[in-house]
Amino acid sequence: MTQDSSNDLKSWFVQEKRSFPWRDAPSPYAVWISEIMLQQTRASVVVGYFMRWMKLFPSIEAVAKAPVEELIKAWEGLGYYSRVRNIQKAAIFLQEKGSELPASLQELLELPGIGPYTAGAIVSFAFHQKAAAVDGNVARVISRYYGLEGEVKRSLLEEKTSLFLPEEEPWVVMEALIELGATLCQKTPKCKECPLQSSCEAHLQEKTEFIPAKKKKQDSIYLHKQVFIIMHEEEVLIEKKKEGQVLGGLMEFPSFPYSNEQEFIPSHFSFLMEWVEDLPQEKQSFTKYQVDLSSSIFRALEKKDIDGYKWIKIDSLTSLTFSSGHKRILQRLLEVNII
């Protein structure tokens, strides 16, 4: 049954597959970068980012040597900036060893930022070996195809995925499973168009609504922050979030837990400043945090250096990479025409 099904899926994929640059020329490096970019973003959106990245950083060596700010700038909009830092850490590690990306799952898993899915994808698509690459799409297809109800362990999904892969050209069927999950076997599946409909357990038992079992949503943490846009002549005070912190490496205006005190000014800004204007409230969300950002513009009457912050020329601000909420605040700031 599985052999016929994987043949059917392969024929469907050969006919229907979407063309993407990382598919058309699947070098190990291209597969690695594309798979990291695809982790939270739709393939159609990733295409532009991927093309730009490959032009700017065409090799592992180029990534290893690039200033991290340039990598973060090229990643801007994809979010999850720890991923881009891990790409560089892995590239530096490989350069120091004088090697390319390895073809073994074990060795790939030792590189920063490469987990079981990405390692499986590189081994399968770039090195054409039999390897299970189980992402959310594959987990959905495999759970439904085998009728796996309730919470299913990753090891079982990998085992079932491997069962599905033929000995001949297993990488084509692996990619077909991903494509099926991305196009037909979505949350609401299009079973009538699916090449697996005659043997898919969830479809035959009318259980597609319940398989895979819904995951419990992680509770969000709500925060409210006061953002200080402090200007002095042609400069604005900016904080670069420390590496290792949430949003590490990104730029933000100084911010502190919101206070109802009207005259609230953080104590370590020990210089005189006057309030100029409030900006509309913005929202920011990252990982489990939902943050309301109330921002105000202030004019500093004197300029002092403060640990952890930098005075940056106003006309350089747009070339920096801000976190998403603070990027919107920067746009508001530019719109009010105060600078």
Binding site for ligand SF4 (CB under 6 A): 141, 144-145, 184-185, 189-191, 194, 196-197, 200, 202-203, 208
Token pair belonging to 154: 């990753």
User: Can you tell me the distance from the alpha carbon of 256 to that of 227, in angstroms, rounded to the nearest whole number?
Assistant: 7
CB of 211 to ligand SF4, least distance (A): 8
Indicate the residue among 15 and 218 with the shorter CB distance to ligand SF4. Answer: 15
Query: Which residue lies nearer to ligand SF4 by CB, 126 or 196?
Result: 196
Long-range contacts of 256-260 (CB under 8 A, 24+ apart): 256/225, 256/226, 256/228, 257/223, 257/224, 257/225, 257/226, 258/224, 258/225, 258/226, 258/292, 258/294, 259/226
Q: What is the DSSP letter of 115?
A: -
Peptide bond connecting 212 to the previous residue in cis, omega within 30 degrees of 0? yes
How would you classify the pairing of strands 289-300 and 221-232? parallel
Question: What is the spatial distance between Cα 297 and Cα 13, in angstroms, rounded to a whole number?
Answer: 55
Nearer to ligand SF4, 203 or 225 (CB): 203
Phi, psi of 229 (to 5 degrees): -100, 100
Is 151 tagged catalytic?
Answer: no
Shortest distance in whole angstroms from residue 151 CB to ligand SF4: 19
By C-alpha distance, which of 240, 236, 260 is closest to 250? 240
157 neighbors 138 (Cβ within 8 angstroms): yes
CA–CA distance, 27 with 125 (Å, rounded to integer): 8
DSSP 241: P
Query: Under DSSP, is residue 162 helix (H, G, I), strand (E, B) or coil?
Result: helix
**Smallest gap, in angstroms, from Cβ of residue 45 to ligand SF4?**
23
Q: Which residue number, 88 or 208, has a Cβ lying nearer to ligand SF4?
A: 208
Minimum distance between the CB of residue 118 and ligand SF4, rounded to whole angstroms? 24
Separation between Cα atoms, residue 25 and residue 29, nearest integer Å: 10
- Crossing angle of helices 170-183/2-16, nearest 10°? 70
Shorter beta-carbon distance to ligand SF4: residue 179 or 252: 179
Our CB check for ligand SF4 shows the closer of 53 and 145 to be: 145
Candidates 16, 35, 243, 335; catalytic one: 35
Question: What is the nearest approach in angstroms of ligand SF4 to the Cβ of residue 180?
Answer: 6
Active site residues: 35
